Amino acid sequence: MKSLFDIPAPAKLNLFLHIVGRRTDGYHLLESVFMLIDWCDTLHFELRTGGAISREDLTTPLPANDLIVRAARALQKISGTPHGVHIGIAKSIPEQAGLGGGSSDAASTLLALNHLWGLKLSLAQLQQIGLQLGADVPFFLGGHNAWVSGIGEQMAPITLAPACFVVVKPGNGLQTQRIFSHPDLKRDTKTATISDFAADAYGFGHNDLQPVAQLLCPAVTQALSWCQDRGLNARMTGSGSSVFARIAEDFEIGDLAGFNIRQCRNLAAHPLQGWAS
């Protein structure tokens, strides 16, 4: 195989996000459900000889050593492959949005290069590499919607009913570290169970990061108000700044100046599920 084209990297939504404690090393203990949606970046891969790894930004400019390049280099180093690659990335998922775009790009890169370079590494091996790149990367490698706990490393597959959502992304992004280090962050939400969640999958819980995000980025409040004015029960995803709400199939999205608004559907599985054994 000489090349792979149009490899998708889907975004995710956190249906809820609870902070249930903090470890002595400073890491926060979480409970969340990660749900894949059909908002995707697209990556193009071309095999190169000589071991060179390069990246071309087809839409949004990215940092030189972003997660895509770091994922490729980590896989190359661990596997010892002599192959290289040229990667074209067409970004669609916005950055600092709570949608996991960078982590998803890294996961799709690992899965695609495992094929392109003929490495035949297992899913468990790729997830070990992914965990060194970012806490969300193993989720995107796993291929399924999941109940997530611990510091994000504990995942249990779950099944979700098909649904439509509106995602509203303010022009401003939010840095995750600013929220997790904020003194006003609530860190003692009561632990829940999958059965608690299953009783009301699309209404359960809340996002403990949202109040701090609203302090740091007033546009998050504006996005929530836009949804509320349309009768939608919205909340922030991840560390923001995007908010989302479940909608009917015939919902008319409309627009809001300075915001990226998109209608999405959830995915039953990652498009690349099964690409690693």
pLDDT for 210-253, tens place per residue?
A: 999 999 999 999 999 999 999 999 999 999 999 999 999 999 99
Q: What band does 1 get if pLDDT is binned at 50, 70 and 90?
A: very low
Check residue 275 and give its pLDDT: 95
Q: For residue 153, is pLDDT > 90?
A: no
Q: Which pair of tokens denotes residue 196?
A: 């608690």
Range 36-55 average pLDDT: 96
> CB 100: neighbour CB atoms within 10 A?
27
Strands (E), the chain: 3-22, 28-48, 53-57, 84-90, 146-150, 154-157, 164-169, 235-236, 243-247, 260-265
Catalytic residue among 91, 136, 169, 208: 136
136 counts as catalytic: yes
Q: Which residues pair with 4 in a beta bridge?
A: 45
Range 167-178 average pLDDT: 95
Range 85-89 average pLDDT: 97
Tell me, what CATH number does 65's domain have? 3.30.230.10
12 counts as catalytic: yes
Check residue 73 and give its pLDDT: 98
Check residue 2 and give its pLDDT: 58
Q: For residue 6, is pLDDT > 50?
A: yes
Enter the DSSP assignment of 49: G
Q: For residue 203, is pLDDT > 50?
A: yes
* Lowest-confidence region among 25-29, 214-218, 269-273: 25-29
Overall number of domains in the chain: 1
Range 139-162 average pLDDT: 95
CA distance 139 to 49: 31
Q: What range does the domain containing 68 cover?
A: 1-277
Catalytic residue among 12, 41, 91, 208: 12
Q: 121-133: per-residue pLDDT in tens?
A: 999 999 999 999 9
Q: For residue 3, is pLDDT > 80?
A: no
Q: For residue 4, is pLDDT > 90?
A: no
